[in-house]
Homo-oligomer: A and B are copies of this chain.
Amino acid sequence: MTEPQGASVSRNQLETGAAQDGAPKPQASAPASAARDDDTVITALTLDDAALTPAMQAYFDKCTEKLGFVPNVLRAYAFDTAKLEAFVAMYNDLMLAPSGLSKLEREMIAVAVSSQNRCYYCLVAHGAAVRALSDDPVLGELMVMNYRAARLDRRQRAMLDFAVKLTAEPFGIEDVDRAALREVGFSDRDIFDIAAVTGFFNMSNRVASATDMRPNSAYHRQKRG
């Protein structure tokens, strides 16, 4: 079995120095910073990893190959195969499948929503994605800090206004809000996708905040320009 062990180390064990099975303390190789434990103690919950299915193992391997690491959110779900698979299926469909929204636009929504909800995990991980997909480190910062300060075209501005209103006061969305999206060229299918990505990060932000999920430390340095 080769699934990551770290997720089953509880924060308490770590702080008292009692590492699992006598192995060297995981901090040894961790970055000397506020992110020191973030690659080893990935949530505030102690949950034992389940055995990965072959499909999930392959997916984790592909993450390692492409990113150099398995995103902590996946490790946080790895205690339960059904939950991990459902999360991965929904994530991959929403963020990677064909859509009228570019992958960058979907990541811009992810970060603007996460900024509204002040979700540390998602801002770090998806802020890096905006930097990478846009090849513009500053655009990532703008999405994290205040999307209203970015010089966006009308389409992207309307998209983010909808996503942030839907986040802050979902009960207030009405026909006029959908009309504003259609006016800048979004189709009904695009509107669904904006809604679904906004919804997904309103979910993920809350799972991450509820569990104090920590972003892999490697994200911070990615694509800083």
> Chain copies in the assembly?
6
Determine the residue in chain B with the shortest Cβ distance to A44. Answer: B178
The answer for the CA separation of A175 and B43 in the assembled complex, in Å, is: 11
Q: Given A137-B220, A138-B33, A171-B117, do A47 and B145 touch, yes or no (CB 8 Å)?
A: no
Q: Which residues of B contact A221 (CB under 8 A)?
A: 137, 224-225
**Cβ proximity bits A32-75 to B, threshold 8 Å, 1 near / 0 not:** 11110110000011110000000000000000000000000000
Q: Which residues of B contact A31 (CB under 8 A)?
A: 138, 225
Contact of A173 among B85, B192, B209 (CB under 8 A): B209
Say yes or no for A206: interface residue by CB 8 A criterion.
Answer: yes
Say yes or no for A170: interface residue by CB 8 A criterion.
Answer: yes
Q: Given A171-B119, A209-B170, do A137 and B33 touch, yes or no (CB 8 Å)?
A: yes
Q: From residue A167, how far is it (CB to closest CB) to chain B in Å?
A: 7
**Cβ proximity bits A109-132 to B, threshold 8 Å, 1 near / 0 not:** 000000101111001100000000
Known: A117-B170, A118-B145. 19 other contacts (CB 8 A): A33-B136, A33-B138, A45-B189, A45-B191, A82-B93, A89-B89, A115-B118, A117-B171, A118-B170, A123-B145, A124-B145, A149-B212, A166-B209, A178-B210, A191-B210, A195-B207, A195-B211, A199-B206, A199-B210
A residues near B (Cβ < 8 Å) are: 31-35, 37-38, 44-47, 79, 82-83, 85-87, 89-90, 93-94, 97, 115, 117-120, 123-124, 136-139, 141-142, 144-146, 148-151, 162, 166-167, 170-175, 178, 188-189, 191-192, 194-196, 198-200, 202-207, 209-212, 217, 220-221, 224-225
